[in-house]
Structure 1
Amino acid sequence: MNSAVQQKFSIWTLTAMVVGSMVGAGIFSLPQAFGRETGPFGALIAWAIAGVGMLMLAFVFQTLSLRKPDLDAGVYAYAKAGFGNYLGFLSALGYWSAAVLGNVSYFVLIKSTLGLFFPVFGDGNTVAAIVISSMLLWIVHSLILRGVKEAAAINTVVTYAKIIPIFLFIVFVIYGFSADIFTANFWGGEDVSVGSVASQVRGTMLVTVFVFVGIEGASVYSRYARNRGDVGVATLLGFLGVLCLLVLVTTPSYGIMLRPELTALRNPSMAGVLEAVVGPWGAKFVSFGLLISVAGAYLSWVLLAAEILFTASHHQTMPRFLAHKNKHGVPSSALWLTNIVVQVFLVLTLFAQQAFRLALELTSSMILIPYLLVAAYGFKLAWSGESYENAPAARRVDFARAAIALVYTAGLIYAASAKHLLLSAAIYGPGTILFVMARKERGQRVFTPVEMGIFVVAALGAVAAIYGIVAGLIAV
Structure 2
Amino acid sequence: MTDNQTQKVSLFTLSALVIGSMIGAGIFSLPRTFGASTGPFGAIIAWCIAAGGMFTLARVFQVLAERKPDLDAGVYAYAKEGFGHYAGFLSAFGYWIGSCIGNVSYWVLIKSTLGAFFPVFGDGNTVVAIVVASIGIWLFHFTILRGVQQATFINTVVTIAKVVPILVFVLILIFAFKANLFAANFWGGETMPPTTLFEQVRGTMLVTVFVFLGIEGASVYSRYAKKRSDVGRATLIGFASVTTLMVLVTLLPYAVLDRADIAGMRQPSMGAVLEAVVGPWGAVFVAVGLIVSVLGAYLAWSLICAEVLSAAARTRDMPQLFARENRNKVPDAALWATNIVTQVFVITTYWSRDAFALMLNLTSSMALIPFLLVALYGVRLVRSGETYDLRPEERRRDLILAAIASAYTLFLVIAGGVGFVLLSAVLYGPGTALYFWARRERGEAVFKPIEWAIFAVVAAAALIGIYQLATGYIAI
The TM-score bracket by the shorter chain reads over 0.9
**Residue 469 (structure 1) aligns with:** 469
Residue identity matched to 1:336: W
Offset at residue 191 of structure 1 (A): 11
| Paired amino acid for 2:466 | I
> What is the match of residue 100 of structure 1?
100
Equivalent residue, structure 2, for 1:438: 438
Question: Distance in 2 between the 1:284 and 1:160 partners?
Answer: 19
- Distance in 2, Cα, partners of 1:368 & 1:385: 26
Equivalent in the alignment of 1:133: 133
Distance 1:42 1:147 in 2: 44
What CA distance in whole angstroms lies between the structure 2 residues aligned with 1:263 and 1:2? Answer: 54
Whether 1:283 aligns to 2:297 is no
Q: 1:133 to 1:2 in 2, by over 3 A?
A: farther
Question: What SS does the aligned partner of 2:472 have?
Answer: coil
What secondary structure is seen at the aligned counterpart in 2 of 1:129? Answer: helix
The 3-state SS of whatever aligns with 1:37 is coil
Percent identical: 59
**Where in structure 2 are the equivalents of 1:5-44 lying within 5 Å?**
5-44=5-44
The offset of 1:392, in angstroms, is 2.5
Map 1:212-223 onto structure 2 (within 5 A). 212-223=212-223
1:2 Cα offset (Å): 5.7
Q: Tell me, what secondary structure is at the counterpart of 2:164?
A: helix
Instruction: Map Cα deviations across residues 72-98 of structure 1 (whole Å, 9 max, x no partner).
Output: 000000000000000000000111012
CA shift at 1:403, angstroms?
1.0
Q: How does 1:220-235 map to 2 (within 5 A)?
A: 220-235=220-235
What is aligned with 2:142?
Answer: 142
Once the two structures are overlaid, the 10-residue window that deviates more, 294-303 or 398-407, is: 398-407
Q: What per-residue deviation string (whole Å, max 9, x for no partner) do you get for residues 116-162 of structure 1?
A: 11000000000000000000110110100111110010000000000
Structure 2 Cα separation of the partners of residues 276 and 245 of structure 1: 20
Partner residue in 2 for 1:154 = 154
Q: Report deviation, 1:391.
A: 2.5
**What is the CA-CA distance between 1:174 and the residue it aligns to?**
1.3
Evaluate the alpha carbon distance shift between residue 470 and residue 132 of structure 1 in structure 2; reply closer, same or farther with a 3 A threshold. Answer: same
Contact 1:34 1:43 in 2 (8 A): yes
| Residues 2, 328 of structure 1: 8 Å contact kept | no
CA distance in 2, matches of 1:179, 1:350: 42
* AA at the equivalent of 1:48: C
Cα distance in 2 for residues equivalent to 1:274 and 1:379: 44
CA distance in structure 2 between the partners assigned to 1:241 and 1:253 by the alignment: 20
Q: Residues 35 and 263 of structure 1 are in contact (CA less than 8 Å); yes or no, is this contact kept in structure 2? A: yes
Taking the aligned partners of 1:173 and 1:189, their CA distance within structure 2 comes to 19
Deviation at 1:195, TM superposition (A): 7.8
- Provide, for residues 243-275 of structure 1, a one-character-per-residue CA deviation record: whole Å limited to 9, x for no partner: 000001000111122222111111110000001
**Letter paired with 2:176:** G
Aligned equivalents of 1:173, 1:158: Cα separation in 2: 24
- Output the amino acid matched with 1:326: N
Q: Partner of 2:75 in structure 1?
A: 75
- Greater CA deviation, 464-473 or 308-317? 464-473
Distance between the aligned counterparts of 2:417 and 2:407, measured in 1? 18
Cα separation, 2, equivalents of 1:189 and 1:180 = 12
Please state how far the C-alpha of 1:442 moved relative to its aligned partner.
1.2
Q: What residue in structure 2 maps to residue 62 of structure 1?
A: 62
**Which whole-Å CA distance do the structure 1 matches of 2:295 and 2:464 have between them?**
36
Q: Displacement, 1:13? A: 0.5
Secondary structure of the structure 2 residue equivalent to 1:388:
coil
What are the Cα deviations for residues 383-424 of structure 1, in whole angstroms up to 9, with x where unaligned? 111110243211111111111111111111111111111100
Aligned residue runs from structure 1 range 153-232, under 5 A: 153-189=153-189, 196-232=196-232
Measured in 1, the distance between the counterparts of 2:426 and 2:257 equals 39
Question: How far 1:189 sits from its partner (Å)?
Answer: 4.9
| Partner Cα distance (1:386, 1:443) in 2 | 31
Q: Tell me the TM-score normalized by structure 1.
A: 0.98
- Structure 2 partner of 1:241: 241
Q: In 1, distance between residues paired with 2:174 and 2:408?
A: 31
Partner of 2:458: 458
Does the 8 A contact of 1:15 with 1:218 survive in 2? yes
Please tell me the residue identity of whatever aligns with 2:134.
S
Query: How many Å separate the matches in 2 of 1:191 and 1:357?
Result: 24
Does the Cα contact within 8 Å between 2:271 and 2:287 map onto a contact in 1?
A: yes
Aligned to 1:326: 326
CA distance in structure 2 between the partners assigned to 1:377 and 1:253 by the alignment: 39
Deviations 1:289-311 (A, max 9, x none): 00000010000000000000000
Aligned to 1:448: 448
List gaps (5 residues or longer) in structure 2: none
**What is residue 383 of structure 1 aligned with on the other side?**
383
SS of 2:348 mapped into structure 1: helix
**Do the aligned partners of 1:78 and 1:377 also contact (CA within 8 Å) in 2?**
yes
Q: What amino acid does structure 2 have at the position aligned with 1:233? A: R
Confirm or deny: 8 A CA contact 1:2 1:329 kept in the other structure: no
1:248 maps to a residue whose letter is L
2:86/2:435 contact within 8 Å kept = yes
1:254-273 mapped onto 2 (5 Å cutoff): 254-273=254-273
- Matched AA of 1:164: V
Q: Does 1:365 align with 2:371?
A: no
Q: Equivalent residue of 1:97, what SS? A: helix
The within-5 A match list for 1:46-61 is 46-61=46-61
In the alignment, the residues of structure 2 paired with residue 307 and residue 392 of structure 1 have an alpha-carbon distance, to the nearest angstrom, of: 33
Per-residue deviation at 1:190? 5.6
Check the 8 A contact 1:29/1:268 in 2, yes or no. Answer: yes
Aligned residues: 476
The 8 Å contact of residues 206 and 364 in structure 1, kept in 2 or not, is answered as: yes
Letter in 1 for 2:293: S
CA distance in 2 between partners of 1:4 and 1:301 (Å): 22
Cα distance, 1:470 vs structure 2: 1.2
Question: What is the CA-CA distance between 1:180 and the residue it aligns to?
Answer: 2.2
CA distance in 1, matches of 2:390, 2:366: 37
Opposite residue 449 of structure 1, the aligned amino acid is P
Runs of 4+ in 1 over 3 A off after TM superposition: 189-192
The answer to which of 54-63 and 176-185 deviates more is 176-185
> Could you give the per-residue CA deviations for residues 333-382 of structure 1, whole angstroms, max 9, x where no partner exists?
00000000100000000000000000000000000001001111111111
Asked if the contact 1:425/1:465 (under 8 Å) is kept, the reply is yes
Q: Answer yes or no: is the 8 Å Cα contact 2:191–2:260 preserved in 1.
A: no
> Which secondary structure state, in structure 1, belongs to the residue aligned with residue 196 of structure 2?
helix
For 2:156, the aligned partner's letter is T
Q: Structure 1: any 5+ residue segments left out of the alignment?
A: none
1:253 aligns with 2:238: no
Q: Letter of the 1:65 partner, please give it.
A: A
Amino acid at match of 1:475: A
Distance 1:337 1:3 in 2: 24
Q: Which stretch shifts more, 257-266 or 334-343?
A: 257-266
